[in-house]
Structure 1
């Protein structure tokens, strides 16, 4: 198996559109997807940055929400995490097609697992 690659970071933002403009102007990132909820997905050509609209009644503060790994085999990765005593990764509960599973590390940090990667599928 190849080494899993950290390819995706997601931030909750008060104004994802303004933040997307900031990263595009100052760091030459490009928006490759935006949705009706106001979320913007950017890339530097390798890493994707998801700027997610903070819902004031939401469960998380502004800032880092989750990160994601590009992996070869979701079934074996999920099995290994579960065998190590972690909660079984769950299918993502979203219509966004960027990752198949959501998992939680031993400290409670969320991370995604994707076999197909983090560009627009």
Structure 2
């Protein structure tokens, strides 16, 4: 089985723009996408960092939210998760082009699965 590549981490923040500017200014990360709600997406060219704007009417606390794997075979990865007794990953219903499926590990942590990777489609993944 090929090794999955960890390529995406996500945090929920009270002020996504301010936090993104911190990582940009302190660590040289590049902001490559901004959602209409203010969520920010940065990269170091290898891993992307999603900073999701917390919604006052949402039920997601600030802090760590999820991570994402770039895999060579999405269907095979999903089959392996189901065979391990986990729910089948669900299609991500979003306009963000960064991940196709959301899955859950045995402890209840969210993670994404992507066959195309997490950087913008015009960049190398």
| TM-score tier (shorter) | over 0.9
- Cα distance in 2 for partners of 1:72, 1:59 equals 33
User: Per the alignment, in what secondary structure is the counterpart of residue 45 of structure 1?
Assistant: coil
* Structure 2 counterparts to residues 36-47 of structure 1, below 5 A: 36-47=36-47
CA distances 1:94-118 after superposition (whole Å, capped 9, x unpaired): 1111000000000000000000001
CA distances 1:60-86 after superposition (whole Å, capped 9, x unpaired): 110011000000011010011001100
- Runs of 4+ aligned residues of structure 1 deviating over 4 Å after TM superposition are none
In the alignment, structure 1 residue 23 sits paired with structure 2 residue 23: yes
**Offset at residue 36 of structure 1 (A):** 1.1
Q: TM-score when scaled to structure 1? A: 0.97
In the alignment, structure 1 residue 49 sits paired with structure 2 residue 23: no
Aligned to 1:98: 98
Q: TM-score when scaled to structure 2? A: 0.94
Can you give the 5+ residue segments of structure 2 that lack an aligned partner in the other structure? none
* Structure 2 counterparts to residues 6-21 of structure 1, below 5 A: 6-21=6-21
Aligned to 1:88: 88
Can you give the 5+ residue segments of structure 1 that lack an aligned partner in the other structure? none
Alpha-carbon RMSD: 0.8
**Offset at residue 2 of structure 1 (A):** 2.5
**Offset at residue 22 of structure 1 (A):** 0.3
